[in-house]
Chains A and B, each alone.
Chain A
């Protein structure tokens, strides 16, 4: 059973004057609709005259597009339009996804529908719109595209070779971005260190597999020249801005609505070519057009992530101090950098984060990001963190092994101490305040480490091979404009919230950050209830509508709680002030003599209830004639918050995994997983636990099962849920979660992000646990996903 959440250590000073929800495991009351089958996901919406689009996508990795024959298809029943790239480009401009602050980064112009060439299997080429989805699919089979296969760049290892074709000749080569970092005396340290350990780490491409596929309805009304887009998306204002720019509209012409979103994980924070194409079709046809990706389309057109090969080494002295890290990272991103966040960010994060938890003073990193003819890659949950963490922690374990030191002791000795903050990490990252030491102590106790080691040793004598693996990690959250804004991307790092007292006494919160399952609505309701001072029952949260919510960045980089939550707090505290001012005007008393509690204005001194919120609403809206001349009630306030003190607010945590490896079959059984997470102030322990667990399971997917497998010609071989393995309940272990709370000082709320650290740490922890189990055989595997076959190969059995 789930242990009752340990609230010890969670008692930070309250942030509001009537606090009872913040910090407690309040259920997500608004989520009830989801378990009653009453959510509204995009595919649940049907509009009058709505057409359905399906896309003819490139069947090969790289091809020249010849003549497109549509005569036959356009005669099929129900067909409304068939549109190719040339026609689409009359409406929608191409884009180039680079960022100014990633020096030297390049990419080629990309079109909503491919023109002349298609550069990956799955790139949309022709759109077919019909009255029903089935009719569109029927007609699709009669679209005849003449094409000629071109040589494909598949392997990233040879992408930069002189005899490899250049995917975009105008760029000169297949190099998208390169970066080197050299701090300290790396060569000297490696030459004189007592021990040096090294390994090459492989990471398979994988993808998000949101259970609800990407989907969208675009609706253009020629009467008022307004475009409305219902979208399963994480960043409504970002999409509004992109539609404006690509189609030459202004913000007020575009309305983006994101209702329930069936999983996102970063997959739904990018702008896809078919997003623009669907909008273009709605504008051409002047009627609503719905696009819902089928699962095969999801596998070939949703962004992929994490294809890296990293050579890494570590140096330490015999006392057990880590002296240096060095990495060489090669990664491939498909044929285009993804719009608008760019695909160079993942590798850049790896460079920033390797070695991040530790005190060492010497670090060298080299990064090459190359193009290839596979599905574009971009930010997916954790972005670079799982890679950096698995490399760092794999090397740390190798060093500990060489020094014959216990891996937990070795970590304790080397992490940046809890009293050293604020400080800079060796790669230049600014660390505000972290708690590695406390987290390591907590996990040791939680898992009863010494007992587990004993059990492991005894079982080993009986031929049962179990392993324990750790992963210490840092994660960047609460981003400032340093992430994208400075690079020229129009992605808001600020968020705004409006708090409105409605006449009935209910408080409505309008905010740019939406709900994709994290519990955003839940924590905002908690914050609002506490900050205004009323029951959570009387709070409504309205998100995901660019016409009504203040401008904001949406969901990415674990910013919902730390940035969005802070905006809600500020707006609600301001609303409480205005409520008190109005009450003072009604009662002809000084607002200082009054306070708010549980939906009532009270006499501060006696606690006597003077006015319920419904009375404040009644007078504030309907009887302003009774108020002093010139008094304005202002029962709706908006506040914005942007985190400006650090480029990001880092969180930290540690995970441990306990596994059993069967040396005869290579089969890995996950026995148990532990996580200690410090996300600053914990707004709702139950929701954070579940964020951590869900994220860990996605990380476990990456280390054990998930891989987009391509053949030599660049064709995806496992584009279905039956072939692409994601974790199911049966293989997953119970996951114990504990919290350490080190609030950030950059906000009143003190909350940091919690959405991705689980995914960041799990691959490293599981990889280390497997290698610990394999230690008696003097072998190890550093190539993810770590399959049975790879383990058997390492054991020399196949």
Chain B
């Protein structure tokens, strides 16, 4: 019943053209129209961070952001960032520390953590806790997430990479 708007954006490296209702939220567009499963919906009101994605290099809450606002932008989700390897160190550290349980918060948590690693590489444990306080995790108790992020910060400070987690032969 409403007027549709034409939009075009780059999502995980691919150009996307679509005609959508102006009220459609970015995360709904990504999930339902593009079938991306990475960004999740936990609250739909900006409180939990599960819907976090990147628009033009900045993390935003996909549930508060209209898809039409991203018209002409570069959008990245956990899927694209995994493929490009941008999150590899964090993902390996999350594996090693069991920093995810149900995993519903993980894409948002990883995107938030990646921004911290980039912007505040000297962070202390307390600062890491503060930084990720915009992202709910109901399962882990946060301790292991903080451990994982600290491990990446410490590795980066020494110029090292986190070793991939592999199973014994």
Contact = CB atoms under 8 A, between A and B. Distances in A.
Contacts of A27: 95-96, 98, 165
Interface residues of A, number: 69
Nearest to B169: A535
A35 B103 contact: yes
A260 B103 contact: yes
Interface residues of B, number: 64
Nearest to A693: B141
B144 A728 contact: no
Given A31-B100, A721-B48, A36 B138 contact: no
A39 interface: yes
A36 B84 CA distance: 11
Contact of B104 (A31, A212, A732): A212
Interface string A718-735: 001110001111101011
A726 B138 contact: yes
Given A209-B138, A211-B42, A211-B105, A2 B144 contact: yes
B104 to A, nearest CB: 3
A211 B98 contact: no
A581 B32 CA distance: 51
Interface string A39-66: 1110110100000000000000000000
A40 B103 CA distance: 10
Interface string A262-298: 1111000000000000000000000000001011000
Interface string B133-158: 10111111111111100110000000
Given A37-B37, A694-B140, A720 B47 contact: yes
A519 B104 contact: no
A309 B143 CA distance: 32
B106 A35 contact: yes
B62 interface: no
Contacts, number: 200
A259 B107 CA distance: 18
Contacts of A44: 31, 37
Contacts of B44: 294-295
Contacts of B82: 36-37
B168 A20 contact: yes
A105 interface: no
Given A28-B95, A732-B141, A722 B100 contact: no
B37 A720 contact: no
A690 B141 contact: yes
Nearest to A599: B169
Given A32-B95, A517-B102, A696 B36 contact: no
A697 interface: yes
B48 A37 contact: no
A729 B132 contact: yes
Contacts of A39: 37, 103-104
Contact of B145 (A292, A729, A735): A729
Contacts of A295: 42-45
Contacts of B144: 2, 689-690, 693
B77 A211 contact: no
Interface string B60-82: 00000000000000000111001
Contacts of A726: 136, 138
Nearest to B142: A729
A460 interface: no
A2 B143 contact: yes
A38 B37 contact: yes
B45 A263 contact: no
Given A77-B1, A728-B136, A34 B129 contact: no
Contacts of B40: 41, 43, 211-212, 262
A210 B40 CA distance: 13
Interface in B24-62: 31-32, 35-48, 50
A696 B141 CA distance: 7
Interface of A: 1-2, 20-21, 26-29, 31-41, 43-44, 46, 77, 134, 208-213, 260-265, 292, 294-295, 516-519, 535-537, 598, 686-687, 689-690, 693-698, 720-722, 726-730, 732, 734-735, 758
Given A36-B78, A519-B101, A729-B128, 6 more contacts: A31-B98, A35-B110, A211-B48, A689-B98, A693-B144, A694-B140
Interface of B: 1, 21, 23, 31-32, 35-48, 50, 77-79, 82, 91, 94-98, 100-107, 110, 125, 128-130, 132-133, 135-147, 150-151, 165, 167-169
21 contacts: A2-B147, A29-B95, A31-B100, A35-B95, A35-B100, A35-B103, A35-B106, A37-B82, A208-B138, A211-B138, A263-B101, A265-B138, A295-B42, A295-B44, A517-B100, A689-B98, A693-B140, A693-B142, A698-B138, A726-B136, A729-B145
